[in-house]
Amino acid sequence: MAWNEPGGNNNDPWKNRGGRDQGPPDLDDVFKNLFGKFGKSGGNGGSGKSLGGIGAGILIGLIVVIWIISGFYTIREAERGVVLRFGEYYQQVEPGLRWAPTFVDSVIPVDVQSIRDKSSSGSMLTEDENVVDVQMEMQYRVVDPFRWTFAVENPEMSLSQSLDSAIRYVVGHSTMDDVLTDGREVTRQRVWEELQAIIEPYNMGVSIIDMNFRDARPPEQVKDAFDDAIAAQEDEQRFIREAEAYAREIEPRARGQVNRMNEEAQAYKEQVTLEAQGEVARFEELLPQYERAPEVTRERIYLETMQQVLSATSKILVDSKGGNNMMYLPLDKIMERQQNNSTPRSRSTLEGLQMPVLDEGQRSRNSSPSTGLRGESYREGR
């Protein structure tokens, strides 16, 4: 039976018995009744009411003080605060001691100076259908606290998934050798660029600082064979560098030799040309003298030529005026024997001092005016 039905005895839950304003009581009346109960403890009459008002004021003041004190907060030097008022973005605050009304504003501190890192790893299939185990690490920093807080629901997870996607895309479009050997730097740069392209549309408020390969290796089943292949590639690169170094060393030397030979050839050409011109000039000067005195000129030319020829020989011919023989001293043989002294000194010296003797017939033949000086002979009387 309802409380306001006939026979319900008017059991009004708000104690508004039979009143014309049936319904919830006024809040002012509720607070008055509450404060009146506090006042009754102090006695009857006006003094009780005054004590109740004082107690209510103290209580309200204490609540206000606690509410004010609870609103103070501190933002550290490396952080920025994102203030929400009734759940909606209100402003961004700088480091320092701040105050926000409790139950009205809420503050989310965001670290914007520390370098954070995030890693990703897994087995991935390359473009040439090989499986590699790749581990990469990313370093990033928050640059926009508002975007970092509200751009995506979970920025840490979104960034991790973006990193996984970038690594798998780049590895899937690279060969095994590029990932594991000489193409690692290119692969790292491509992962960086791909990650930037993925997170840019989301505008997450982060900046990628660096991207590093922590590890990249083939599966354990083929590790030994791959180590041999890596060693062979390193030897190849070493041989190439040695060959390039040898080429850089030899090429300047060869160019220097070529230049020297060209200069020597040019100098020889000029020398021969000048000598020929000098001979022509000399013969042109001798021609008038020869025409005036041919015998004297011919004899002088002959003597000059013999002097020039004999000055370069190591043989000595001794002509005795009182005899019919001519002695020959082979000084070149004597000097060669002394340098190659393989026998006793006295014996080699005696053998080297054996002097051939030319008879009168050989002397006359070798000293014939028609033949001039030949080999080891000399014209008689010259």
Smallest Cα–Cα separation from 159: which of 177, 147, 171, 174?
147
Q: Which amino acid is at 113?
A: Q
Residue 129, token pair as written in the block: 């259908």
For tokens 């010259």, name the residue: 382
The reported pLDDT for the residue numbered 338 is 79
What pLDDT sits at residue 261?
93
pLDDT in tens, the chain (382 residues): 455 555 555 555 555 544 444 555 565 665 566 556 555 544 454 555 555 667 778 888 888 888 888 888 888 888 888 888 888 888 888 888 888 888 888 888 888 888 888 888 888 888 888 888 888 899 999 988 888 888 888 888 999 999 999 999 998 888 887 887 777 888 889 999 999 999 999 888 898 998 888 877 777 777 777 778 778 878 898 999 999 999 888 988 899 999 999 999 999 999 999 999 988 888 888 888 888 888 888 888 888 888 887 777 766 666 666 666 666 666 667 777 777 775 555 444 444 444 444 444 444 444 433 333 333 333 333 3
The dotted CATH code for 116-218 is 3.30.479.30
| Residue ranges per structural domain of the chain | 27-69, 72-111, 116-218, 222-292, 313-366
Residue 102, burial from CB neighbour count under 10 angstroms (0-12, 13-18, 19+): middle
The reply to whether the predicted model has a pTM over 0.85 is no
Nearest to 285 by CA among 270, 267, 300: 300
Output the pLDDT for position 4: 55
Nearest to residue 330, comparing CAs of 346, 354, 349, 347?
Answer: 354
Q: Is 141 exposed, middle or buried (0-12, 13-18, 19+ CB in 10 A)?
A: middle
Q: Give the 3-state secondary structure of residue 131.
A: strand
Do residues 302 and 315 make contact, with C-beta atoms less than 8 angstroms apart?
A: no
Q: Which residue has the tokens 């480091």?
A: 95
3-class SS at 39? helix
* Cα–Cα distance for residue pair 106/81, rounded to 1 Å: 10
Query: Token pair for residue 263?
Result: 């200069």
Q: What is the pLDDT of residue 265?
A: 94
Cα 189 to Cα 179: distance, rounded to the nearest angstrom: 12
Cα 214 to its chain centre, rounded Å, is 18
pLDDT at 13: 54
Query: How many whole angstroms separate alpha carbon 153 and alpha carbon 309?
Result: 108
